[in-house]
Structure 1
Amino acid sequence: MDQQKDIWNKIYDGVLNKMPTYDLWLDKYEKELMKSKDIPIIDLGCGSGNDTLYLIERGYEVISCDFSEEALEKLSHYTNNLNIKCFDFKDGLPFENNSTQVIISDLSLHYFTWNETQSILREINRVLMKEGLFLCRVNSTNDENYGAGEGLSIEENYYNIEGKLKRFFNEKQLRELFKEWKIEYINENEINRYKKVKIAWEIAVKKLNK
């Protein structure tokens, strides 16, 4: 089994074996989300299902995706009629071109090399419809409570922390990463749903149609 998948399966089998709880970070995008009322929203790296639950409770259809079978199995305990897909982002996204209006990646895009991250974003761009919206949150280089600057350095701001690969972003890197997108929102925010305050970047970008 892939080492990283094994790590995450163990996490979801233990520490996160509880009811998903969500914050309200998606509230500000209500008008954009409403455009996808009749089109499934892809929750990419759904984990324990925080955003999946948020969306389902508000009447959206969701495709919940993760590479941890344990995460998806746990999520199935808390909601019915789930549409789930288990795959590794690095292998591409198993969706048709221009097939969805909104993709969300909440704290799941910061586990890859720079080249892998760029490749995943190209896949996200491929799957999104014209002017489609990509919403994500990623680790900040100021996220000291959750490992920023710790571990064995692999690339700039990308570390092996006790076997777990983890990336942290600054604004310059994010603007470079999304230079071929229309940036609607980018800001460093606090997340307070954990035991300690987490510092993360929140980004909303739209697909450019050249």
Structure 2
Amino acid sequence: MELARAQQEQWDSAYARRPCLHGAEPSAAAHRAVQRFGAAGIDDVLELGAGHGRDALFLARQGFSVHATDFSETALDQLRHQAQREGLDDRVTAALHDVRDPLPPADATVNAVFANLLLNMAFTESELRSLVAEVHRVLCPGGVFVYAVWSTADDCSRHWQQLDDGLCMHDGFVGRFFDQDLVRTLAEPWQLDELTPYDEGQRRMLLVAMTKLPAAQVAVWSPTEMSH
């Protein structure tokens, strides 16, 4: 909890110092999510770790209704103001939430969840498993979870200071780099539709897409459509 509070203050301070911290352009993961959500006929998205909203606003511009959450009120204020400036405040709502706590939606009430880089943050492996289980809980059967994370193939993974439980630190920020084994571990009991390495700028990334199976299919599913 002390680490969580320290990281919340760190991110709040970073957003205050540099509004639009991550730039205005949407992430590559958001572009992929638009394609996947659109193909599934989904029109509403829960975004976790939305920051100042570059992806939430992009999703709204593509016609999705977006409920964005983050644990930085400073970032969410920036998101809200930009949504108002663009006339998107009827499509974008924003709420303060730390994903270490249970997600607000009721069971099986959400069609899609999106998270760019959130899972890289300062979570223990136990907290990561709890977070992914919460996403599974709130999604409807057939609902889709798309997320992107830094890969252990990224050069930065060798230069950050190593901490306990697979975490590492650089310039006061704590995070975790993902390998494909961790992705597959977190994918139980999901259908893992996509696990794709890609580059974004200088970063080596992994794009992951998973579908919540109906309960009757969980025990018999095998991964036959996964991309490598």
TM-score normalised to structure 2 length: 0.82
- Structure 1 residue 28 displacement after superposition: 4.1
Give the SS at the match of 1:89: coil
**Paired AA for residue 9 in structure 1:** D
Corresponding position of 1:6: 9
In structure 2, relative to structure 1, the CA distance for the partners of 1:148 and 1:103 (3 Å cut) is: farther
Give the SS at the match of 1:84: strand
Contact 2:29/2:116 (CA < 8 Å) preserved in 1? Answer: no
- Structure 1 residue 85 displacement after superposition: 1.1
- Structure 1 residue 187 displacement after superposition: 1.2
- Structure 1 residue 78 displacement after superposition: 1.3
Q: Report the Cα distance in structure 1 between the residues aligned to 2:105 and 2:55, rounded to whole angstroms.
A: 20
Give the SS at the match of 1:189: strand
- Structure 1 residue 14 displacement after superposition: 1.7
Say whether 1:109 aligns with 2:114.
no
Which of 120, 126, 131 aligns to 1:120? It is 131
Give the SS at the match of 1:90: coil
Aligned residues: 202
Once the two structures are superposed, the pairs formed by residues 63-142 of structure 1 within 5 Å of their partners are 63-80=67-84, 81=89, 82-111=92-121, 112-142=123-153
**Paired AA for residue 155 in structure 1:** D
Taking only the aligned residue pairs, the percentage that are identical comes to 25
Corresponding position of 2:211: 206
Deviation per CA, 1:144-178, whole angstroms, max 9, x where unpaired?
A: 24x5452132113x123343220111111111111
Which of 185, 188, 196 aligns to 2:197? It is 188
**Paired AA for residue 54 in structure 1:** F
- Structure 1 residue 36 displacement after superposition: 1.8
Q: Report the Cα distance in structure 2 between the residues aligned to 1:138 and 1:162, rounded to whole angstroms.
A: 19
Corresponding position of 2:154: 143
What value does the CA root-mean-square deviation take over the aligned residues?
Answer: 1.9
Contact 1:141/1:149 (CA < 8 Å) preserved in 2? Answer: no
In structure 1, runs of 5+ residues without a counterpart are none
In structure 2, relative to structure 1, the CA distance for the partners of 1:172 and 1:127 (3 Å cut) is: same
Deviation per CA, 1:38-65, whole angstroms, max 9, x where unpaired?
A: xx31011001212101111111110011
Answer 1 or 2: which has greater helix percent: 2
Once the two structures are superposed, the pairs formed by residues 4-83 of structure 1 within 5 Å of their partners are 4-17=7-20, 20-30=24-34, 32-34=36-38, 35-37=41-43, 40-80=44-84, 81=89, 82-83=92-93
Corresponding position of 2:223: none
Give the SS at the match of 2:81: coil
In structure 2, relative to structure 1, the CA distance for the partners of 1:23 and 1:5 (3 Å cut) is: closer
Contact 1:20/1:53 (CA < 8 Å) preserved in 2? Answer: no
Deviation per CA, 1:111-142, whole angstroms, max 9, x where unpaired?
A: 21100000001100000001100000011112
In structure 2, runs of 5+ residues without a counterpart are 216-228
Say whether 1:170 aligns with 2:179.
yes
Give the SS at the match of 2:51: coil
- Structure 1 residue 17 displacement after superposition: 3.6
Q: Report the Cα distance in structure 2 between the residues aligned to 1:136 and 1:79, rounded to whole angstroms.
A: 23
